[in-house]
A and B are shown apart, each in its own frame.
Chain A
């Protein structure tokens, strides 16, 4: 029943649920073995690394490396030492702020460009608009792993090396194609008649975009926005290649390059760093679960 709540570009598609429920005359015990048991295994395996990350972050060192005397699956004397060390002895707060700034900047830039591009492709309908749409879609198939070396030379020549601005400008290369494609799908679901009415009433194109199309596309905008934010937060290879000074690093890069020193790994603070670095995205996610699902499935369906 939850499907009905999910805003989808194609509402009819998600309306049908549970073909299995209508025709299963299986016994209850059989269902437990074929459905609930595998599902429980899946959930356990998918969640265990998070549990392990969380539990390690709050363990004192003597417990962490002594499995004989302490059960590793539980914390006997939880401590905030790892987290306080991370917050007060490293520049972790600074890294979080940098990541946040880069993610917000890249998201806003991509969202504005994508809204305009999607509106032009889907609503202004010029000759060859389908090809422009296809070209933007193909851009999504170019992976960052191919682009980072030439981009690094470009960034260096533009004088943006070691500056978060380089990340704000390069992240849209993978955000714009995705957001544009998602928004084209949303614009398609808005009846064209509404815009025609506004045109007849004497509204300009910009007024139509601002007063009619955008308010109706708000769920699509939220989907695209949170997705772009998550992708920017997770990005790694550009941040690794373009940033060298410690204080400008983003969280994923900083944890891997600044916290891992020498041969003895500080697993406690590494896990605490990973946990704190995942939290903003996870909190964001918990508020917008349905939008994530709809943007994921909407983008795939298009």
Chain B
């Protein structure tokens, strides 16, 4: 029998060679196969502090009083991070983030994430957010 050290050395080199040579040969990950227009954003009409304006947001909106919120509402009844409106696989959902005064959709309190229909009115503090629909824009 040869020197046992040669055997283990050979195996070690084989392991390293195996690890180094066997690569993931799959190319770039495939794009999501969706032929229809991909909704990239949510349109909301915001009625707050005497003004009514329509905004186009991204796929996910954080509503709150914090400066880092996507939709900032300067209102003491609104929590810092109050609610979240986002596009999911099967529609647009509103979710309350444990706010102090709660979130309602057409007068009904949002306990579980709730799917929005077009023209539903989400009330956050004294502000009213009307969901206008989704669209593809940048």
A binds B: no
On A, residues with C-beta under 8 Å from B are: none
